[in-house]
């Protein structure tokens, strides 16, 4: 049985640790429970708390690991392609990594950790707090080579498809020097960023619980665009420089300063955030976040035991919250988790869940003949290394019963070739009002219909329960990749919200064939929304909402009496030829407690137009007149 990689100073392992590992192997190989004549995979046990079997795609470093080994290991896993099926999680045990010598001149610095984070790669510290793991150097995301003639990628350098990577729960002293690929692309040598970390990404590439002891740049080194990113519960002591980053959401954080913006920069609960100023510059600032709950995370305690910390929900949050006391949340020992591998079936997983286990999904692609069924309140479903769930028989990938406090984090859900009515379904009917103090929470949950393979799904996420928090969610009907076309990767809606008092914090929903989002529940709120309409509409007749041209990206039902939304961008790029018209980017009832702040529509390229920003309000965007802003609706 292959275990995860633990990379340390010596090629060998001390005899006591060897013996402990042999015991772990023996336990994993022999501990199979028998129910009738059915073999049930073993759960983790207290004996494996210090050395759990995370499988071959998890690498664990400790402070004795040579920097060259760290860099070469990270380099070797950083080259996955956009739709690769490989997945990687990298964990750093508490301690300091790399030297801070040469910090003033990164071009000549030696002994630093210097690696690019690639597709399907999550990098996390294993401390109880971010500063328990310090990286001298840079774990960074750079622009990639594209067609230099594209107007949105000057010098062939862009990050518009830098998806599916993450970094969390560590501190970085930024000492960043150019990487080899800069030379390969024939860009100037010697470019360095003293005391600055670069994270040039678009969707599905979150930074959480990071402490950047310097500045943070959010766009490619040579000026190409990035398009949508997310930062939460983090500190940046210097300046955050968005540059050509088109939109970004920062919540519950502490920053030195912010400098610039393109279309839609949103802040909630951020110390050091810029003042409210939309649309010039395009910055939407809320003093606090009405309700939030951070993603669960792995850590190692003082006895070397692996645990998962689950934060309590926070109301009216501002600034970071890094505590791990009982007042901050709960620590769950790893032996309370079923540690799943891609070889496990839905039946394996559901038996474990039914017996009261939580679920840890190790890196890989899980082909599921049935839905993973969560039926117990407070269950944690935590993915590592962008673990990916694909239903193969037209079912959902995950269903959650009428229970409260479920946490689902760190996963990709891919539609299968047979159409699924829903990919993830929270609650049934409208029976569950949910809990305002213990909300079900989705953190870093990403959906794809098409792209890696052919896929179909009518709705990616259906929320029937109340008091749910959606925290960094990207639902994407693929506009490129495999199985892509108007009649190929069919998908009507990204998100449908039927429950009351649902909050979305960082909602990215793109290219679905009808409304991207339908909000039927009362008391809903969205802070930051990014949406591109479908590119591939074949004709106006094929894209009509009754008698109205096109479908609003974000639709609030006429029955809704209370709803609020802040910092919303809807964009068009109809690229198959016809002049397609969308009547409005947003459709909502005209009621006093249904309110919208800081809205923008953009004509990116192609043909056609968006006639209005919201309902019949706001100027059209079309070729030559590409942006329309609405500060408040209803206008006050």
- Residues labelled as active-site residues: 532
Long-range CB contact pairs, 149-158, < 8 A, 24+: 152/224, 152/225, 153/224, 153/225, 154/222, 154/223, 154/224, 155/187, 155/222, 155/223, 155/224, 156/185, 156/224, 157/185, 157/187, 157/220, 157/221, 157/222, 157/223, 157/224, 158/220, 158/224, 158/225, 158/226
Q: Output the CA–CA distances (angstroms, integers) from residue 513 to 143, 450, 488, 490, in the order listed.
A: 30, 13, 12, 7
CB 251 within 8 A of CB 289: yes
SS (H, E, C) 482-526: ECCCCCCCCCCEEEEECCCCCEEEEEEEECCCCCCEEECCCCEEE
The encoded tokens of residue 478 equal: 């693929």
CA pair distance 170, 66, nearest whole angstrom? 18
Pairing of strands 306-311, 297-300: antiparallel
* 197, 138 contact by CB (below 8 A): yes
Q: Which residues contact 270 (CB under 8 A, 6 or more apart)?
A: 250, 251, 252, 253, 254, 255, 285, 318
**Calpha distance 530→508 (Å, rounded):** 5
State whether the Cα torsion 451-452-456-460 is positive or negative.
negative
User: Strand pairing of 215-217 and 235-241?
Assistant: parallel
Cis peptide bond N-terminal to 468, omega within 30: no
Beta strands in 141-288 (DSSP E): 144-145, 157-158, 165-176, 193-194, 196-198, 207-212, 215-217, 229-232, 235-241, 247-258, 264-271, 283-286
């Amino acid at each position: 049985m292959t275990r995860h990689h633990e990379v340390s100073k010596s090629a060998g392992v001390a005899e006591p640790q060897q013996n402990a590992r042999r015991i772990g192997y023996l336990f994993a190989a022999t501990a199979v429970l028998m129910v009738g004549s059915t073999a049930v995979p073993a759960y983790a046990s207290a004996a494996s708390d210090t050395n759990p079997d995370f499988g071959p795609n998890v690498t664990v470093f400790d402070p004795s690991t040579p920097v060259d080994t760290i860099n070469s290991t990270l380099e070797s896993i950083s080259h996955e392609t956009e739709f690769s099926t490989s997945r990687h999680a990298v964990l750093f045990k508490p301690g300091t990594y790399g030297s801070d010598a040469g910090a003033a001149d990164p071009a000549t610095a030696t002994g630093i950790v210097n690696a690019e984070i690639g597709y399907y790669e999550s990098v996390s510290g294993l401390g109880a707090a971010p500063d328990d793991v310090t990286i001298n150097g840079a774990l960074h995301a750079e622009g990639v080579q594209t067609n230099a003639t594209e107007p949105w990628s000057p010098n062939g350098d862009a990050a518009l498809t830098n998806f599916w990577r993450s970094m969390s729960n560590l501190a970085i002293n930024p000492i960043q020097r150019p990487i080899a690929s800069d030379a390969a692309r024939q860009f100037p040598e010697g470019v360095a960023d003293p005391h600055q970390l670069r994270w040039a990404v678009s969707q599905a590439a979150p930074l959480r619980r990071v402490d950047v002891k310097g500045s943070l740049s959010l766009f490619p080194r040579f000026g190409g665009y990035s398009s949508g990113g997310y930062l939460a519960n983090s500190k940046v002591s210097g300046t955050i420089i968005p540059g050509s980053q088109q939109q970004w959401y920062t919540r519950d954080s502490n920053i030195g300063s912010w400098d610039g913006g393109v279309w839609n920069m949103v802040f909630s609960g951020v110390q050091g955030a810029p003042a409210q100023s939309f649309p010039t510059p395009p910055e939407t600032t809320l003093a606090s976040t009405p309700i939030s709950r951070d993603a669960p995370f792995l850590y190692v305690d003082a006895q070397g035991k692996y645990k998962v910390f689950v934060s309590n929900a926070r109301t009216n949050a501002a600034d970071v919250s890094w505590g791990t006391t009982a007042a901050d949340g709960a620590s769950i020992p790893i032996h309370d988790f079923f540690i799943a591998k891609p070889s496990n079936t839905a039946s394996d997983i559901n038996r474990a869940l039914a017996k009261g286990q939580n679920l840890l999904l190790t890196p890989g692609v899980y082909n599921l003949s049935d839905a993973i069924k969560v039926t117990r309140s407070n269950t944690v479903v935590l993915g590592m290394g962008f673990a990916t769930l694909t239903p193969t028989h037209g079912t959902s990938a995950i269903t959650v019963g009428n229970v409260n406090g479920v946490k689902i984090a760190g996963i990709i859900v891919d539609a299968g070739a047979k159409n699924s009515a829903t990919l993830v379904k929270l609650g049934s009917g409208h029976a569950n009002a949910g809990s305002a103090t213990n909300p079900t929470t989705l953190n870093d949950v990403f959906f794809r219909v098409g792209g890696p393979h052919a896929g179909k799904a009518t709705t990616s996420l259906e929320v029937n329960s109340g008091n749910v928090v959606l925290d960094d969610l990207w639902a994407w009907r693929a506009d490129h990749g495999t199985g892509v076309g108007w009649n190929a990767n069919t998908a009507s809606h990204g998100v449908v919200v039927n429950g009351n008092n649902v909050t979305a914090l960082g909602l990215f929903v793109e290219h679905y064939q009808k409304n991207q989002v339908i909000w039927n529940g009362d008391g809903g709120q969205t802070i930051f929304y990014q949406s591109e309409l479908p590119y591939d509409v074949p004709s106006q007749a094929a894209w009509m909402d009754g008698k109205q041209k096109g479908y609003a990206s974000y639709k609030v039902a006429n029955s809704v009496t209370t709803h609020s939304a802040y910092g919303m961008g809807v964009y068009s790029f109809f690229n198959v030829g016809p002049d397609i018209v969308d009547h409005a980017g947003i459709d909502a009832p005209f009621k006093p407690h249904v309110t919208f702040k800081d809205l923008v529509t953009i004509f990116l390229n192609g043909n056609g137009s968006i006639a209005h920003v919201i309902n019949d309000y706001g100027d059209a965007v079309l070729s030559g007149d590409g942006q329309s802003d609405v500060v408040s609706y209803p206008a006050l």
